[in-house]
Amino acid sequence: MTKNQVRKTLMEPLGKNNPVFVQILGICSTLAVTNKLQNTLVMTLGVMFTAALSSWTISLLRNHIPSRIRMMVETMVIATYVIIVDIVLKAFYPEMWKQLGPYVGLIITNCIIMGRIEAFALQNKPTLSLIDGLASGLGYAYVLLAIAFIRELLGMGSIWGFRVLGSWWTNWSIMIMPPGGFFVLAIFIWVIRETIMKEAKNV
Amino acid sequence: MKAKKTFYSERIYPLLFMLIVTVFCILLTSGLHLSTLQRAQANELSFTRRAVLQAGGVDFENTRAGIEKAFLENITLEDGFYTFLGPEGKRYIISVIGPGLWGPIEIMVGLQEDLTTFSGLAIVSQNETPGLGARIEEQWFTNQFMGKKAPFILVEEGTARAENEIDSITGATRTTEYFRNLVNRAASDAQIIIRGE
């Protein structure tokens, strides 16, 4: 495991191989939870935790898992970590747990996690897989937080629950509803691809 | 590493492997669940008690210990409802569940002795749209029921004056309509539950 390899694994999901705006994975949760920054942060922390540890676990087991049942094992491991997140939230952060409702459980079906396990953890060493899972989670997190920032600001006139725009501001209700997530995400992907990623596309 | 295909490697080993993984995962999660169960139940209880206190209009400190202290000192549990003997007379607190726009809404309603004047209202659970219908949880919305008389009618946001008028939430008309029905039902249910009429 060279330094270069670690660096590449860590940086790629943040930029040119971002799970959200390049691979277009994990979109369902992007729409559902990004209408408030607080919810988004907890959700993305859950995804980072699950992605990192399930990649690590599967990578540890990768030489022992019979390939025909690997998906069942992967799902089982992912579900276990997600339920751990759910139980911990329920016991220690009950207010947050109530607000997120069913979304925590839906981390199980987040395609980023299974995607990274299939594409990376099954072929690589545990430590590198852990870094890859964590970096993918981070790449997912910052995009979602950016979207949530825009949606909360325009939809409720607030940031992190504090009102920042005065009473003159009329809330754009559509921003809080799922269609708002589609609009912001689509514009976000378009802007990133047309500006920052233009050179990469031409090579 | 290409292993030879045998009955064991093709049939038995995958089964055994899955079995071991499953048992291990179940043990881990149920162990964690059981070890935090008490804490989770205490949280649930605290949520309910806080709602009862808010509905009854009791002053309390918003911590687990504060809620417990205020609840045990002030509230009496009777047959299907709670009572609170405050400085302004007896108050009845009942819990009501009814449909919202997306899912059930559970509320705690506090009534004065005439069973039509509200002493307060708190939301126990709801599944409305965050930022729109979910705004029924906001303080200004639940507080406006204080001292008003059922049955209620809805008026445009910011125009409620009379003692049976309630501000609806702009952008959440349907949710507030369901909520109005629920609150009105709470008042009529209270007659049945408390007076047995």
List, for residues B4-53, the tens digit of each pLDDT value.
788 888 889 999 999 999 999 999 999 999 999 999 999 989 999 999 99
Which residues, including other chains, have CB under 8 Å from residue B154's CB and lie 6 or more apart?
Answer: B165, B166, B167, B168, B176, B177, B180
Helix (H, G, I), strand (E, B) or coil at A62: coil
What averages of pLDDT result for each successive group of 10 residues across chain A (203 residues)?
Answer: 82 84 80 82 92 95 91 94 93 85 81 91 93 93 92 89 83 83 90 78 57
State the CB neighbour count (10 A cutoff) for residue B152.
21
In angstroms, what separates the C-alpha of A132 from chain B's closest C-alpha? Answer: 23
| A32, closest residue in chain B (CA to CA) | B130
| B15, closest residue in chain A (CA to CA) | A69
Examine the pLDDT at B190 and tell me if it is beyond 90.
Answer: no
Tell me, yes or no, if B39 comes closer than 8 A to chain A by beta carbon.
yes
The Cα–Cα gap between B170 and B102 comes to 17
CB-based contact A26:A100 (threshold 8 Å): no
From the list B184, B149, B153, B181, the residue with the least C-alpha distance to B167 is B153
Tell me, yes or no, if B43 comes closer than 8 A to chain A by beta carbon.
yes
Chain pair A-B, CB pairs under 8 angstroms: 73
Which residue of B39, B43, B129 is in closest CB contact with A177?
B129
CB–CB contact B14 A68 (8 Å): yes
Would you state the torsion angle of the CA atoms of residues A10, A16, A21, A24, taken in this order, to the nearest 10 degrees? -80
Tell me, yes or no, if B151 comes closer than 8 A to chain A by beta carbon.
no
The number of residues making up chain B comes to: 197
pTM score, two decimals? 0.81
Query: Which residues of chain A lie closer than 8 angstroms to B44, CB-CB?
Result: 94
Beta strands (DSSP E) in chain A are 158-159, 162-163
The DSSP bridge pattern shows strands A158-159 and B89-99 to be: unpaired
